[in-house]
Structure 1
Amino acid sequence: MAETKVEGSGDCGNSPKNRLAQEIAVGLETGGLSRDLLAEDVVWQRADGREIAGAEAVLAALSEVQAPRRVVVDHAISHGKVGAANGISTGRDGKARGFAHVIGWSSTSAKKVAVVRSYGVG
């Protein structure tokens, strides 16, 4: 299958944490989130209302994600232990869906994701 085309946000220039928020959002949208970014007890509150607890369970759920044709990240921001990214994900069928992922890191150094709350429209 073809790779997902990603258009990143201009918000990431001089901010590694903004870039990381974008990377996490893209990983959630494509199913390609790195295990190294997840705390063992991470919780993913999905847009469909399901709550998935634990790094292995999150990775299992992500393995079922059908990678979209395109992901455009409009904004990626961070402050302290919180980050967020939003944009549009366009599926292989051409259908566009808005997304927002609010990320809580386990510390201000943003090494591990403790919680993600995802929102989707469309």
Structure 2
Amino acid sequence: MTQVIRSSDCENSPRNQRVEQIALALLGAGDLPDSVLSEGAVWDRNGGAISGRAAIQTLRATLPRCEEIRVDQVVSHGKAGTASGTLRRPGQRDRLFCHVIRFTSTAASEIAQIVSFEHAGGAHGR
């Protein structure tokens, strides 16, 4: 099971909580229902972009699990939100992550695009 550590700054709005839940699901800690992704959603990430709800869900199911995810910042405004922090996978050093999530509307009910970054050398140096 993945341990999730949240900054208390991230719990200040329902929209931020939604963005955080989506980011965690992209890292394998939680569910991402099909209804949250638009049919033509795009996920730009290390290794290239993939298009379509089914392709995103298939890729998500194959990603290696995280031992720990530390969510340091979640911000949302209008049709977009970001979540960032550090993650650790078994046998690896910490990595920085950031997910930028663009919704189809300001209602933030359906995702149009996700841009994800990971970078070696996490801030906590484990």
The two structures have a TM-score, normalised by structure 1, of: 0.90
Aligned to 2:88: 90
C-alpha separation between the residues in 2 aligned to 1:64 and 1:101?
Answer: 18
Residues 1:12 and 2:20 aligned together: no
Residues 1:108 and 2:102 aligned together: no
Give 1:8 shift. 2.1
CA RMSD of aligned residues (A): 1.4
Give 1:42 shift. 0.6
Give 1:117 shift. 0.5
C-alpha separation between the residues in 2 aligned to 1:33 and 1:102?
Answer: 18
Deviates further, 112-121 or 10-19: 10-19
Give 1:66 shift. 1.1
CA contact (8 A) 1:8 1:22 kept: no
Unaligned runs of 5+ in 2: 121-126
C-alpha separation between the residues in 1 aligned to 2:20 and 2:45?
Answer: 17
Match of 1:21 among 19, 22, 32: 19
Unaligned runs of 5+ in 1: none
C-alpha separation between the residues in 1 aligned to 2:2 and 2:61?
Answer: 15
C-alpha separation between the residues in 1 aligned to 2:6 and 2:103?
Answer: 21
Identity score, percent:
34
